[in-house]
Structure 1
């Protein structure tokens, strides 16, 4: 074959390779063809039907327009005309052909005829018409032609009224004259079961209405008036929420509140899952009104007399959390005033013997007990707690604490993380609050049970976790930014969960290659450190410092420490000259910009008005320098860095001055340096301030009872406000939500606070806002600055192992007296032996001193009036007595930097006593010797 170019083109022909169609292929092709033809017929029929209906619609519309429906129907003429059959024939379809006002005229014109129709046809047409109505404009006309003699109430509600309400939940005309009669008749026609099946769905639909619409304001009260609300049965949570909101609204507008309150209680009985619906919306306007009413007192009373189950109260409390915190608190106040109920709640718990029984059988009591005690501890004064009239007796709190301690320890020590219950987190939070209060008042850890909080499980005690602590601390330091020079509250907020996030990260990394018991003990140390004995935590604290020194190469026994000493500018010994007249300024100039280099050894030379002072270097760290800076920075009024409470305890002065904030930050570094080097300082911090320093993870927030430590007079005044029952008495005080700051400026405690008057309903909110401003808002900058400096030296997580009293012991030492035998055992002599008569007389005099005099002596020698936390064995250098010669006219003197007493060799005991007391009261230093 030739192609167009004239060249021969080869043609390949496949002879015999084409397969023959099988029978199966032929059948499949036939089936596809049939399906295609069926689809084509279906589409053609649909088109034909659509065209037919369109033509019919147009023809009927033309018919109505030309023949029957002009706009001049004579409503006064009730004679039957040609249009009388339109509604029976077409029913709701008339909406498609004629204007709704024409339909309304038709129903009015033949009202009598339709209402007396011989069968239920008109009723059926009306039900369907209601379900299709786009508005509520002709609802009265529809109801007026219903034949009540033939009505089927179920069909009316299900086919007509419920769909109408669903489609028209905003109809805005008054039904007062129509619906009451209808529902009264309906009630007579229906039995109880039928009413329940009709009204309950109605109650779950009508909530979609706007609160201001007349359908709500008329329909629901009519239902109540006829007592048509059925007994509540278990519904899904969304339906229960809807019904609860409906009933709350009704409670604000109807007269018969008892009926509504009984229905509310029925709903609450089934409303057990509300605590899982955290973002559930509520219509605050009437839910809040419910919590402000007497309903709370009635419900509490019913529960206390066993007429209503405790689970109902749990539901009510959980709902109160979703409205506003103030209303939950108001409810808890009502609860606490019912001592009988409080006793019932705790006694209900105490009857269970095992932890599992408490979890499984008494969860309602446990939830309420936790809520109650949380709130009670926030408001109750110490005297109220120990009073016989206390809502929750001390004995119950202690017994409940034992229970919580067992539950929490079992959860964290014995259970895998994936099997722990939700109760453990809230229990830990409450247990911590109880522990903090007990650390001050000792209602649990009294003398008979000083180790109340310590877990004595043998395996738990023996489990060592120093390696895990070191690993966790390294990771925690790597992801945190404690030395940020200008940390703000926003930064603090972003880091508040860092501790637990770091813990969870490390646990995930350890699982599978680290013993579970070790991991669990570390988690307990981080979350509930007081389960571990104080001495063990102190040991851990100093171990962490030792590990940190080794990491930085400043450990005296570390080879890296020797190398650092040879490298200028690294962590060697920092030398500085400090003037006695400007200690704080010179110290800041020398060390404030060193960061964590301030952790290294210091060598300080003091200069006074006579020139350089003669002093003894006690091994590098100049304790004299640290204690002198502490004395000046904390106590010198010329700086005004700290204010004092009524007990002369210190806390940062409220200020916005950047210079003062820098000085506060440096004083935090000084305290951190003293902790780091085991140097005790003589300073008394207020308890609320110490507590704030241990609450970094929660933005330093305080509780209401902390106000007692700041301003006990204000605290007592506010607590007296809370017990005033007379509303008029509260309003007569003419209080508003405002307060004056330290400069006399008016601060609004809430938006528009200057115009918001304090009353019975918001008095609790007012009290809490006052405390929040005084403790948290006004002091935030100063506390943050001090803590920022402290954190350069000591990570917050290390300090959070302790309570405020324990932290005070770390900073300032132990009790206000000391163990003389312990001091005597750890004393070194120079020029004396312990058998010399002068030494024998000395110890006799120390024993004969008052505790106050002994503390003064200890401060005279060591600069601190308290004993070291771990005893005098840990004092570095050791306490020493050196022979100062035989000049009996000389006074005993001391070198506090090396804890040395220079004692002349007095022959007479009374001479020694007189001169020793004179010295310790005058504070003679070594440079006067």
Structure 2
């Protein structure tokens, strides 16, 4: 018989006679531990419940008896200091336990009683911190403005009586909420701000200093200034604020500071704010009105556009903030900072090196004031340069014997030392760049500034710096990398242009030592960037050209492309010409392959009368815009009707050269251009003058449209590689390279050298001599026998020129002559030019190189190159006539050879890339055996028709006669 226990689990039988005692022991110990934990938990739970019950009973009792307790407190007799402090302690307990739960009327009564007692009592408060904490708790928990006002008053009384205030975390934040969220009376607002300044850094420094962002401060306050100065230390850091807050804080500090003298504490605070601002300021509704030269026109005088702007946020400020920040650009503040710069203390020197560069970057519209004040400090530039020369980095760059310093070499130098060095370099470069703009070439290297030998040595250093910045793989080695690179490349471009005028450096100075630019390798990347740029323009995308790439590009190639864009003179001129022509070829391919269904590229047809070439060309093509890049099909008409001929390119060349000849003739009916004393062309300033006085606007608009068309014509000549025999003034060509560039006083010599010399004489005159001239800041215009007044400054006719403003007068007059009076004409011309040729393509060249691009190469001809690139018709290269011809060419003077080239090609210079690039090739054709005939030419196909003269003397006489008189000139 079996017993059934109810369990179906099979019994485990240990047949091996093995015991499991070890496992049982472990299980037993673990079970005991868990049981102990459970008992401890239950014990603590019961204890906590008892505590909570006691507090709740106490709270309920207090709440039940709250009115009685408050009533007892309100009627508490105060006879001595001990009673007073007992009463205070009771208030602390009331506020701690249940005051916040009462209705507003009762709370108001309590706080009012406290304020009255605090105001009248002369007793010392023992538990000041307790009262302040209690009031702060009420301040954060209540919303009735009348109660809050009383709490603020109470805090004001307590803290004003306290000599040793402790930490009061969060109170300033609570007071700011009251200030911002409630409509306070002027008196209430004043009390709140006073209280905050009484607390100051007893709360967090961050919360205290943030109060300066409040819209309250509008006048000088010595009490507040004293507090701010005493809370600032050498290690003070202004962190965790955005740019707008920092600007507001800085503005408020300067308002509070008022007319007080700047102390070391002021410089410390201003420096700590400035070093954390990473934006640029611009005045709201800021327009481009003309201002004084030294205050406004401090802009990049190079053909570079600054690349820092695109990486820096712009913050727009109102007039109030702008007026307060003006104090940072005042002579008093700048001079004080300069004094710090020369201080023996390295800390103060470094402080100045933070403040001045930061101010330059902060408000571009005012940075000219800093640079101007630096420029008038005696021997300032010498001090800068000597300081820079003493540093080991200067020696490293000067003696590296390479084009740039490798990153690894820079990483071995102490970073703190490097930071102050680069700040010094930046400050010097900004101020010296300004000096190069406002000074004239005659005073550029005065001994009290920077002598020519020091300038040469600095350029040696600057060359290596610019290339190092471009090729550097570690930007963190340079503080404010983008700004430093921008001003360095800008200054090097300025010095390059100055050297073009003054020629104080060797001709091969800009040749690189070891950097090699493989044009063919770079062209594919350039083509890709150009495609990206065109797509961005067509799609109206606001993007930085070059960011979208189809495939990764080596950093070294990108750096070399940056050199091409920012410092193109480091790359050989011929290489840049190849890049320019390659870009045009790419553009042509793009235009011809745009429509795959067209079997022949489109042609623009025009019928041109020989008697009205300019007008007919304008009417036919001026509305074409970029379509003017397409092939032209021109038919010429003379008095006998249509001229014979098929345009294989020669007629187009003839058409372009004829339009250029007529359009740029200063004596034509429209008088669109004028000539300088050196017969160089620039837009006629009369157009601006007539528009300025409001006369004949319709006809002047027609002239401007013609100027735009002539820009298209010049662009078409460049596009088709047609050289034209026209010389433009350098100050006009400067605008082609960089349409935003402003010409300076130094360019005035190109326009009118006599005027330039006379203006320089004015700088040597005494004040009495200047007053005798009765000059004012105005110009007298004569139009149609009538006189009109044009002010160079607002109300300029009433501003007399004297020794205090003579430099400004000279610059304003130069600015008018070179920029203002030519601005609208240049704008129209460049619109036409840029519709054919991208402005970025032209930025690879300076004004003199651009003239060569337009008119051809050097003054003399490479005869061997010429010989090797000639096509003969009816002659062989060893025929007697051909041999005599080349002998005569070799015996000619350079001027005669240029005349011969012009006779055949219509341009007096050789092609930039040699005769091999001339299209069509230079040709010499046998025009018969008549030795009486003169040589003739077909300039449209670069063909010399040379009779088969039998003797050298006759050939020489006939050639020289033809090229000197243009007799027999046959534009067939």
1:350 aligns with one of 373, 376, 394: 394
Deviation at 1:626, TM superposition (A): 0.9
2:382 aligns with one of 322, 328, 340: 340
SS at match of 1:351: helix
Separation in 1, partners of 2:808, 2:65: 71
1:253 aligns with 2:311: no
SS at match of 2:546: helix
- Partner residue in 1 for 2:723: 680
Deviation at 1:813, TM superposition (A): 0.8
2:356 aligns with one of 296, 317, 336: 317
Contact kept, 8 Å, 2:510 with 2:570, in 1: the verdict is no
Describe the superposition over 1:356-375 as per-residue Cα deviations: whole angstroms up to 9, x where unpaired: 46684133223224423443
SS at match of 1:606: strand
1:880 aligns with one of 923, 932, 941: 923
1:584 aligns with one of 598, 614, 618: 614
Give 1:694-843 correspondences, 5 Å limit. 694-695=737-738, 700-702=740-742, 704=744, 708=748, 779=822, 781-830=824-873, 842-843=885-886
- Partner residue in 2 for 1:510: 551
Contact kept, 8 Å, 1:374 with 1:430, in 2: the verdict is no
1:293 aligns with one of 331, 342, 348: 331
- Partner residue in 2 for 1:457: 515
TM-score, length basis structure 1: 0.70
Separation in 2, partners of 1:846, 1:539: 29
SS at match of 1:154: coil
SS at match of 1:415: coil
Separation in 1, partners of 2:828, 2:218: 55
- Partner residue in 2 for 1:627: 657
Deviation at 1:631, TM superposition (A): 1.1
Contact kept, 8 Å, 1:734 with 1:757, in 2: the verdict is yes
- Partner residue in 2 for 1:641: 672
1:870 aligns with one of 913, 918, 929: 913
Relative to structure 2, which stretch is displaced further, 355-364 or 687-696?
355-364
SS at match of 2:356: helix
Separation in 2, partners of 1:414, 1:288: 37
Deviation at 1:642, TM superposition (A): 3.1
Relative to structure 2, which stretch is displaced further, 787-796 or 808-817?
787-796
Deviation at 1:585, TM superposition (A): 2.1
Give 1:384-423 correspondences, 5 Å limit. 384-385=443-444, 387-389=445-447, 391-410=449-468, 412-413=470-471, 415=473, 423=481
Unaligned runs of 5+ in 2: 1-33, 96-105, 140-147, 282-314, 398-404, 692-696
Unaligned runs of 5+ in 1: 1-22, 69-79, 147-151, 187-193, 483-493
Relative to structure 2, which stretch is displaced further, 812-821 or 743-752?
743-752
Contact kept, 8 Å, 2:866 with 2:915, in 1: the verdict is yes
How many residue pairs align between the two structures?
A: 825
Change (3 A) 1:923 1:171: same
Describe the superposition over 1:189-245 as per-residue Cα deviations: whole angstroms up to 9, x where unpaired: xxxxx999999999947746777667x524146679xx9677533333479989976
1:471 aligns with one of 528, 538, 542: 528
Deviation at 1:838, TM superposition (A): 5.9
SS at match of 2:425: helix
- Partner residue in 1 for 2:164: 154
Give 1:599-610 correspondences, 5 Å limit. 599-610=629-640
The alignment's C-alpha RMSD in Å is 6.1
SS at match of 1:585: helix
Deviation at 1:869, TM superposition (A): 0.4
Contact kept, 8 Å, 1:675 with 1:811, in 2: the verdict is yes
Change (3 A) 1:468 1:33: farther
Describe the superposition over 1:94-146 as per-residue Cα deviations: whole angstroms up to 9, x where unpaired: 99656999988877766xxx2xx5x6649889988998894899899959995
- Partner residue in 1 for 2:962: 919
Describe the superposition over 1:782-826 as per-residue Cα deviations: whole angstroms up to 9, x where unpaired: 444333333343333333333333222211111233334433443
Change (3 A) 1:741 1:807: farther
